[in-house]
Amino acid sequence: MGFLGPIPADKLAASYNVHTQTLTLSAEGEARNYTTGIQFERQSWLGGYKFNLEGWTGPLADPESYEHYTHEQAFQLQMPSRVAPSGSVIIATANHPSGVAVPVRFLGGFIPPAENEATEKATTAPAQAAAGAAPAAAPVEAPHAAPQLMQPDNQKINVLFKMPFNIQEGDRVPTGGTVTMKFDPSVLTLEKAGIQGTNIVWTLNSLKTGNTQVIVTVTGGIAQYVIQKIYDVRIFVLD
């Protein structure tokens, strides 16, 4: 069933509404059949605003079969800011794993002044970007080192179909850090979440039988690191 990973994109675009402080990202392309739950996931990055384009893929109807998709998603954030003074965002995809610089089209206000030559080029996007089409963005190098990624060995969970099960993580979040949990919504559903003792506990239930994953990500705040715990979940029925 669904396994989370990066997906390719043929077109990427970004716009920012100055009045509502809303950044809207869009992507279009061909993804493996079947891919669901496509989303932009914001990353911890000292160089500005960076996002991964990812989705839940599987089961594969045909390894060579692809289907067209479009996706649009909004984020509430402030641009420009001290951490992202430029007029562009970085988006990493399956075909550009290091990321591409996507110029931001500013709406409802003045475009922020360029901080440097690189920013000026980003804020003066070509006419096709102004019309909403994706520019031919080139891969970019991150100006700062990416956060250290730590991935413990996968943990395996066997659960009965339609029987709730728990995923838990310590509630001691680093200063400025985050704890998030992701799953394939076509396979699992979240029944409740809360604090039990010193743990964050998520109670999930199954919608289908088969295999899927639950991913818990802990990001550092001041110390830049990412701990990603992957739970391989097997959902079965008793004979």
Q: Supply the range of the domain harboring residue 230.
A: 148-236
Do residues 111 and 34 share a domain?
yes
**What's the domain count of the chain?**
2
135 lies in a domain?
no
pLDDT by residue, tens only, the chain of 239 residues: 668 899 999 999 999 998 999 999 999 999 988 899 999 998 877 768 899 999 998 877 677 789 999 999 999 988 876 655 678 999 999 999 999 999 999 987 655 554 433 434 443 444 344 444 444 444 544 444 556 778 888 999 999 999 999 999 988 877 777 889 999 988 999 999 999 999 999 999 999 999 999 999 988 766 677 888 999 999 999 87
For residues 47 and 121, membership in a common domain is answered with yes
Question: Any residues with CB less than 8 A from the CB of 171 and at least 6 apart, and which?
Answer: 179, 195, 198, 199, 200
What does the pLDDT read at residue 114?
46
**Domain shared by 109 and 13, yes or no:** yes
